[in-house]
Amino acid sequence: MNILGINAFHADSSACLVRDGAVGVAAEEERFRRIKHWAGFPSRAIKWCLEDQGLGIEQIDHIAINSNPRAQAWRKLLYLASKRPSPGFVLQRLGNRRQKMDVRGQLRAAFEGKAVAAKVHFIEHHRCHLSSAFHCSPFKEAVAVSVDAFGDFASTAWGVGRGSELSLDGRVFFPHSLGAFYTAITQFLGFPHYGDEYKVMGLAPYGQPTHMEAMRKIVLLQEDGSFRLDLRYFRHARENLPHDWSGGAPVIGEHFSPALESLLGPTRRPEQALEQRHKDIARSAQAMYEEAFFHLLNTLHPRYGLDAIAIAGGCGMNSVANGKITVRSPFKRVYVQSAAGDAGGAIGAGLAVWHEQTGVRSTSMEHAYLGPAASEQEVNALLGTRAADIAEAGCEVSEPLPEAALCQRTAAAIAEGKVIGWFQGRMEWGPRALGNRSILGDPRRADMKDILNLKIKRRESFRPFAPSVLREAVPDWFELDGDVPFMMQVYPIREARRAQIPAVTHVDGSGRLQTVTVEGNPRYYALISAFRDLTGVPMVLNTSFNENEPVVCRPEEALDCFLRTKMDVLVLGDRYIQRQAVAA
């Protein structure tokens, strides 16, 4: 059975193929369009998925969309009748509904002349998130939770998974949303772009939670474990905010109302310097999110009596809160899928249909290397075509190296303080670079963050870099232990170890780790092991291979990024490309 899963007409548009109960391939449209968070119909991702698996669109049995525009119909009508939002608000949502319902038309346009005979399934947004969380997990039974902005008139949902079965037992409905709350604070703090919430999460440790009284006026916890927003502080419930998911960078309007300025003081403009007040607001917002999140989890645990939990939704990307689940709730085991946000809804939709059709539990997702790869022939052809550009940049290209020699040479370069572009195997699924499309550095160097920002990333200095650590070394270096293969949890670094790895230790002594195993990524494991053998430190600094663009997908994008930045080395498959030292 071939199932095409799609996240369409939403940010992070994506596609996947579920083949006989296993996720075969998956990719986000942004990687092909080269526009961050690309929103629209993911035609290029769909075409790549089919080509990679040797299938035509006519061979697809089912098409699963991670939205059901008909869901919660009576609640939507009741809301329109009672709240009387602006006409623009209504027309905008009707336009979104028409786009989502015309999947066959979109596919016919993308595959001109091809028959699209597959049955189309519209799966409720949060059911997709829950499926992507639980059905991808290794758990036989677990509580599943989706915390998001909005999808199909809800923001949060929960249920329980047992085997192939998955219930959806409760929801928080529009307009109440922890995602909308976090977005409003993000915009208030001068970070206006879609997806900037992670900047607030990175800024928060520099502040103190001095605004909790105000935050508790905005987010109101309920006795049943849910929450409500005081809508005086928001605009999204009634107004027709600017909003565009139709084909390009996603556009979202300003969520907060003037009342929020009365409560928290003046907003920060993007060009203004960050003051301590802004850092304190960020810390308070993160603390309020965690207060609401753990209020929900601590209500759900006794209700279901299970010690495992699977998390998804856009707020499932809040790795700081995720890292505290085993400390601040009774849950003992945690799984967060590598694309917890809306991109992951493509997989959730596909898996939901698989389970509906067969009742057979799908294969768990133990790694995230599901995207395009480059063959040795492609790499060789690229290096031949671009030989003049490479020579002009003063770079030397090695012959193909055996893996052991490649890893040892790269580890030595990292230990010397060089910045490495590391392009290997299949591209990662989800927003995190996990050792196949990564930029690597020495975690021991206190100046490595500044070096990376100067040479390549050019991003805010307060944002941390992540450690990729050998799985067996986690207990010796972190205060918590567990599998974190997708970099979705932040753990406190042991105080005695922090001075040894300043480049990956955030200001609060934490690190957003990725655990690496020989089974999950043999070559990356070998590289980190070689670095450990040289330095005694079983980890490397890892950040995404990009420069203010989507993570590189193809080898030509990796080479372009290497040549236009001041990266020292590019490891492209088995080839080691190094800038020659400039004579004094």
Q: Do domains 2-135+343-358 and 147-337 have the same CATH topology?
A: yes
Distance of CA 530 to the CA centre of its chain: 29
Distances (CA, A) of 543 to 141, 146, 208, 402, 428: 33, 26, 27, 25, 13
> Which pair of structure tokens corresponds to residue 296?
């929900």
**How many other C-beta atoms lie within 10 A of the C-beta of residue 336?**
28
Cβ(547)–Cβ(561) below 8 Å = yes
pTM, full prediction: 0.95
Instruction: Supply the angle between the helices 178-188 and 276-304 in degrees, to the nearest 10.
Output: 170
Per-position DSSP letters for 402-428, written without gaps between them: -HHHHHHHHHHHHHTT--EEEE-SSPB
What burial class does residue 404 get, using C-beta atoms within 10 Å of its C-beta: 0-12 exposed, 13-18 middle, 19+ buried?
exposed
pLDDT for the residue numbered 200: 97
219 in Cβ contact with 198 (< 8 Å): no
Select 147-337's CATH number: 3.90.1150.10, 3.30.1300.30, 3.30.420.40, 3.40.50.300. Answer: 3.30.420.40
Tens-of-pLDDT digits for all 584 residues of the chain?
A: 999 999 999 999 999 999 999 999 999 999 999 999 999 999 999 999 999 999 999 999 999 999 998 888 888 888 878 776 666 655 555 556 566 678 888 998 999 878 899 999 999 999 999 999 999 999 999 999 999 999 999 999 999 999 999 999 999 999 999 999 999 999 999 999 999 999 999 999 999 999 999 999 999 999 999 999 999 999 998 888 877 888 899 999 999 999 999 999 999 999 999 999 999 999 999 999 999 999 999 999 999 999 999 999 999 999 999 999 999 999 999 999 999 999 999 999 999 999 999 999 999 999 999 999 999 999 999 999 999 999 999 999 999 999 999 999 999 999 999 999 999 999 999 999 999 999 999 999 999 988 998 888 778 888 899 999 999 999 999 999 999 999 999 999 999 999 999 999 999 999 999 999 999 999 999 999 999 999 999 999 999 999 989 999 999 999 999 999 999 999 999 999 999 875 44
Structure-token pair, residue 141:
């039974």
Query: Which of left, alpha, beta for 195 (phi over 0: left; psi -120 to 50: alpha)?
Result: left
Assess contact for 182 and 196: CB atoms under 8 A: no
DSSP secondary structure of 163-197: TTEE---EEEETT--HHHHHHHHHHHTT--STTTH
Q: Could you tell me the fold of the domain covering 376-579?
A: DHBP synthase (3.90.870)
> What one-letter code names the amino acid at 575?
R
Lookup result for tokens 């071939």: 2
Gap between the Cα atoms of 93 and 243, Å rounded: 10
Provide the residue type at 274 as one letter. L
> Which of 92, 93, 103, 148 has its CA nearest to residue 125?
148
Structural domain spans, the chain: 2-135+343-358, 147-337, 376-579
Q: Is residue 82 packed enough to be buried (19+ CB in 10 Å), middle (13-18) or exposed (0-12)? A: exposed
Cross-strand pairs, 172: 156
Going by their DSSP bridges, the two strands 22-28 and 395-397 should be labelled as unpaired
Task: Please tell me the distance from the alpha carbon of residue 498 to that of residue 480, in angstroms, as a whole number.
Answer: 14
Fold of 2-135+343-358: Nucleotidyltransferase; domain 5 (3.30.420)
Q: Which two tokens stand for residue 42?
A: 């993911």
